Amino acid sequence: MANLKSAKKRIRQTARKTSYNKISVSKIRGHIKKTESLIAGKKKKEALESFSKLQSEISKGVKNGIVKKGTASRKISRLSSKIKAIK
């Protein structure tokens, strides 16, 4: 257990940031699952709408340091190529 005042403060800050990060990651995962299900259902228009929201969430994650830049670009690239393949 932390004894110093600054250590106690860091524990509070870490808990707050951890909860925020978990919320952001779960939003991103939810958008990915939704987009992939629309791709599997061959619904191109809905998939594109969901994909634009997903790109926004991933970009916010990169900006805030929740998702790495390479991971974000890989996910976006793979999903966009899957959407383009829908006929």
pLDDT in tens, 32-59: 999 999 999 999 999 999 999 999 999 9
How many separate domains does the chain show?
A: 1
Instruction: Look up the domain containing 53 and give its range.
Output: 18-85
- The yes-or-no verdict on residue 87 having pLDDT over 90 is no
Cβ contact 47:35 at 8 Å: yes
Spatial CA neighbour of 58 closest among 80, 39, 37: 80
Read off the pTM.
0.83
Determine, yes or no, domain membership for 6.
Answer: no
Q: Is 26 exposed, middle or buried (0-12, 13-18, 19+ CB in 10 A)?
A: exposed
Cα distance between residue 26 and residue 24, in whole Å: 5
Mean pLDDT on 11-23: 96
Question: What share of the chain in percent tops pLDDT 90?
Answer: 97
